[in-house]
Amino acid sequence: MSKKVTKIGKKYTLGSRIGKGSFGEVYAAEDKDGRKYAAKLEVRRKKSGGRRKGPSQLEYENRCYGLLEGTGLPKVYEYFQYGDYNVLIMDRLGSSIQNVLEKSPSKKLPMDSVLAVGMRILCHLEVIHEKGMLHRDVKPQNFCLGRDNDREIYIIDFGLSKRYAHDGKHIPYRDKKSGLTGTPRFASINSHFGIEQSRRDDLESLAYVLVYLGKGTLPWVGLGGKKRIRSDDDVPNRHEMILRVKQATTDTKLGKGLPKGLCRFIKKVRSLRFYERPAYDDLYNMLNQAYEESLKR
C-alpha cells in the first residue's frame, strides 16, 4: 500500500501495518473518537493500471464473517470501497499465536498452553463446520489472542474459506485439483494431492499446528527445493518435498514425546474420511486428557 495513504473513508486514520492476510494487508486504525480497529485493505487496481479481474476476495471474506458471526471471530463493523482499495474494518486483536511463539526464548510453547489453545481452536472449528464452512488455512498466524483478554483465542482470515455443504448436502468428492489451497507447512496430505477439502483437512492442519507449537518445528520444516512448480522439471519442488516427508512421517513419529491424548488426536484426525462428520466431543476429550497429562509432567 502507498505510504501516502493515511485516511480511509470519512472517519478512519491508518497507523502501522500489523499483519498480512491471504489477499490483503492489515493496518491499525482509529476513528475520530479514538476507538481502535484493524483495517484490512485489498488493492483494487493493478500496478500497471486498470482494475483487477475477478471478484473481490475481501468482499467474499466479509460475507464469510457475516455468515459465521459469533464467538471466536472478530466483529466486523464496515466493508466499503475507498479510492483504489476495498476496505474491511474489524476488531483489533492482540498478538497472533505465531508472534507469541517467535517471542518465546525456547521457540516453542509450554505443552499445557499448546493444548489449551488447541481446545479453543477445535471449538471454533466445530462451530464453523456446523455452519457448513471450512477455513482451509489453519495455521498459527491465523489465530490471535484477544486484545484485552489474552485467554481468548480468535480465528481470522477467511479469504480461502469455502462451503462444504449446501442446504445440508455435502459437496462431492473430487481429486486432481490444480494447486494447493492453504499453507504447505500445515496443509493436509490429501490437500497436497489435489483432493477436495472437507472437515478432516482443517483438523489435520490443527494437529500439525499443535505439534509445531509444542516442539517448535515439524519434520518437514526447513526443506529446500524450488519454490515454483514445473511439471517438466526433474528437481523436486518444495511442495513435493514437504509431501514426501509428511507421507513418510508416521503418527507415532510425529507424536514422539507428546502427551498420549495428543498422539491419539493426531492418529484420529489423520484417518478421517472425506464425508465423515468428526466426533468433536471425542477429539476435545483427547486434547483435554493430554492437557491433564501435561500438568503432571
The domain segmentation of the chain, as residue ranges, is: 9-90, 97-296
Q: Which residues of 103-121 are buried (b: 16+ CB within 10 A; e: fewer)?
A: eeeeebbebbbbbbbbbbb
Q: What are phi and psi of 130, to 5 degrees?
A: -65, -20
Give 237's DSSP letter: B
Class of domain 9-90: alpha beta
Show pLDDT as tens, one digit a residue, over the chain (297 residues).
Answer: 545 568 888 899 999 999 887 678 999 999 999 999 999 999 986 555 555 555 689 999 999 999 998 879 999 999 999 988 999 999 999 999 999 999 999 999 999 999 999 999 999 999 999 999 999 999 999 999 999 888 899 999 999 999 999 988 999 999 988 889 999 999 999 999 999 999 999 999 999 999 999 999 999 998 865 554 444 445 568 889 999 999 999 999 999 999 999 999 999 999 999 999 999 999 999 999 999 999 987
Which of 183, 194, 190 lies closest to 246 in space, CA to CA? 190
Quick one: pLDDT at residue 118?
A: 98
- 99: its cell numbers: 508472534
DSSP state of 142: G
* The predicted structure's pLDDT at residue 23: 76
Helices 260-269 and 199-215: angle between axes, nearest 10 degrees: 150
CA atoms of 129 and 127, how far apart (whole Å): 5
Catalytically annotated residue among 112, 137, 157, 251: 137
Question: Closest Cα to residue 29, out of 85, 110, 104, 111?
Answer: 85
Query: What per-residue confidence (pLDDT) applies to 229?
Result: 44
Round to whole Å and give the CA distance between 154 and 285: 21
Separation CA 132–CA 126 (nearest Å): 10
Instruction: For residue 175, indicate whether it is catalytic.
Output: no
Same fold, 9-90 and 97-296: no
Give the homologous superfamily in CATH for domain 97-296: Transferase(Phosphotransferase) domain 1 (1.10.510.10)
Per-residue confidence (pLDDT) for residue 239, from 0 to 100: 87
Give CA–CA dist 297/281, Å, rounded. 25
Nearest to 131 by CA among 210, 202, 39, 204: 202
Rounded to two decimals, what is the model's pTM? 0.91
What is the C-alpha to C-alpha distance for residues 128 and 121, in angstroms, rounded to an integer? 11
Check residue 52 and give its pLDDT: 56
pLDDT score recorded for residue 162: 96
For helices 111-130 and 280-296, the axis angle rounded to 10 degrees is 170
Neighbours of 73 (CB within 10 A): 19
pLDDT reported for residue 46: 59
Task: Please tell me the distance from the alpha carbon of residue 279 to that of residue 268, in angstroms, as a whole number.
Answer: 10
Q: Which amino acid is at 161?
A: S
- What pLDDT, on the 0 to 100 scale, is given for residue 236? 61
For residue 70, give the C-alpha cell: 459469533
Buried b (16+ CB within 10 A) or exposed e, 36-65: ebbbbbbbbeeeeeeeeeeebbbeebbebb
